[in-house]
Structure 1
Amino acid sequence: MEQIKRLIEGAKFNHFITVLILVNALLVGLETYPSIENQYGSWLVTLDIIILSLFSVELLLKLMVYRTSFFKNGWNNFDFIIVVGSLILYGSSFISVLRIFRVLRVLRTITTVPSLRRIVTALFMAIPTITSVMVLMSIIFYVYAVIGTFFYAEVEPEYFGDLGLSFITLFQVFTLESWASGIFRPIFEVVPWSWLYFVSFIVIATFIMINLIVGEIVNNAQKITDEIESETNEIKEDTSEIQQLKTEVGELKSMLQTLIDRK
């Protein structure tokens, strides 16, 4: 069992699983091309079955080694659901659901690449702050949507005819997608001071709010990195202490051997 544990925790095994995940992603992408699907469909299905079988073997090995502790890790639970779900749905009539599971296997890359896990963990840690920022953004959107409806409903009813249309328009402005030529300039020709409305909204909603979210995620990622470095330093310190003890024990042995030889 110890050999199996060393195998599944080894770098080579993890690299092999990562390659399988990437190959799986490539196969799923190739199936979206009708010409390739019609010509090589049977080969693609065969390769997919082989990859799913290897994933199943990986899962069984981890269950053998870790047993119930396997399910204490959220990433392991995700892998388990994806692999077992694919196995259950294979050969069933739920083809669309099976395809979703096959695509979701690509997300297993996150579980095999530590740097990706850190980013996702940082994202989850930032959810409370992101939720607060989203509530604040909703208030800003509502205020600007009401103002836009009041002032620009008659100028551009297509964009600000009612509150719902104003929300959709502000979302387009928020994404900075054709906001100047498509929305702002026609209104600016009629209402010259409208630039204050659009510029202030973009500065507050797009620049400030997005930077708050990004900043929180970056801070959490830095915290995780610092924790990992701290744990690594502790391990290095323990290793160095062990090495020092070994050296001292070696010196004691040599001293004892010297004393014995003298006697």
Structure 2
Amino acid sequence: MYQSIKENLYRLKENKLFELSVVTVIIISALEIGAKTFELSDQAYSFTSILDAFITLFFLVEICIRFIADNNKRHFFKKGWNVFDTLVVLVSLIPIDNSEMALLARLVRVFRVLRMVSVVPELRVLINSLLKAMPQLGYVILLMFIIFYIYAAIGSFVFKDINPKLWGDIAISMLTLFRIMTFEDWTDIQYETMEVYPWSWVFYLTFIFFTAFAFLNMVIGIVVNVMEEEHASMRKSKEPSLTELQQELAEIKALIKQQSSQQ
């Protein structure tokens, strides 16, 4: 009985229509959260409350289906996305009205939109790639911070008297350099210092070369490389392994021998 229910739920979980319905409910949940940020009439507020209860119940049923249909329940909560989905669903059960946890419940309902990532495999690949790239990105970020710190110290010492609002201390100078790196009106800052120090353009151009060109391209290269590895592992996991093929061949041979012996 239980095995039959489990098989039916597994087929339901793997059904594309079921996956599409989950995505649809997540989109409706996002729209419902956005609607609550506006001033609503009493009827509209009542409708959104009913809709919120339906969405919470739907997600509760969906996570139960996934848990029952899973072949290895001991490892179900060892997967990060399963833990995230379960926490979001459980905290969503907290009543919003007349509760000290009302603010937390509202915030968690916002995170229900992130469930789109756990449902769509392609989005999971992107997030997993970004997380796996973080250790390598850490060294690039550290090196970028060192460059920022050196240039901020130079800028603070040299340009402080020109514009204290932009170069008053090393912290403000780093914010100014971040503005330069993002090309937000950086030429105005450059021309201002060039009126006093004509060769100060060298300071800006070298900084932009190191940060906007060199380091950002390194970040992109690392993320793309990890993403390719993640896609390759995903394709490999979908392909049947050699052991599985050997087992299937052995079963076919055993079946053929059994039929031949009966004849």
- TM-score range (shorter-chain normalised) is 0.7 to 0.9
| Alignment root-mean-square deviation, CA | 2.6
Point out 4+ residue stretches in structure 1 off by more than 6 angstroms. Answer: 247-253
> In 1, Cα distance between the equivalents of 2:44 and 2:245?
54
Farther off after superposition, 201-210 or 106-115: 201-210
Hey, which of these two has a bigger chunk of helix by percent? Answer: 1
Structure 1 counterpart of 2:25, from 6, 20, 26: 20
The one-letter amino acid paired with 1:41 is Y
Is the contact made by 1:122 and 1:217 (CA closer than 8 Å) also made in structure 2?
yes
In the TM superposition, 1:52-67 aligns within 5 A as 52-66=56-70, 67=73
1:149 aligns with 2:153: no
Structure 2 counterpart of 1:137, from 125, 144, 153: 144
1:203 aligns with 2:209: yes
Structure 1 residue 64: Cα displacement: 2.9
Name the TM-score, length of structure 1 as normaliser.
Answer: 0.86
Structure 1 counterpart of 2:169, from 162, 183, 186: 162
> In 2, Cα distance between the equivalents of 1:106 and 1:30?
14
Size of the aligned set, in residue pairs, is 255
Name the structure 1 match of 2:122: 115
Is the contact made by 1:122 and 1:220 (CA closer than 8 Å) also made in structure 2?
yes
Is the contact made by 1:184 and 1:195 (CA closer than 8 Å) also made in structure 2?
yes
Name the structure 2 match of 1:70: 76
User: Secondary structure in 2 aligned to 1:176?
Assistant: coil
Farther off after superposition, 104-113 or 5-14: 5-14
Which deviations, in whole Å up to 9, do the C-alpha atoms of 1:59-88 show, x marking residues without a partner? 222233334332021100000111101113
Is the contact made by 2:96 and 2:106 (CA closer than 8 Å) also made in structure 1?
no
Unaligned runs of 5+ in 1: none
Name the structure 1 match of 2:133: 126
> In 2, Cα distance between the equivalents of 1:94 and 1:72?
27
The one-letter amino acid paired with 1:23 is I
In the TM superposition, 1:1-263 aligns within 5 A as 1-34=6-39, 36=40, 40-66=44-70, 67-91=73-97, 92-181=99-188, 183-234=189-240, 242=248
> In 2, Cα distance between the equivalents of 1:252 and 1:93?
68
> In 2, Cα distance between the equivalents of 1:113 and 1:179?
40
Which deviations, in whole Å up to 9, do the C-alpha atoms of 1:207-230 show, x marking residues without a partner? 211111111111011001112223
Structure 1 vs Structure 2: percent identity of aligned residues?
32
The one-letter amino acid paired with 2:68 is M
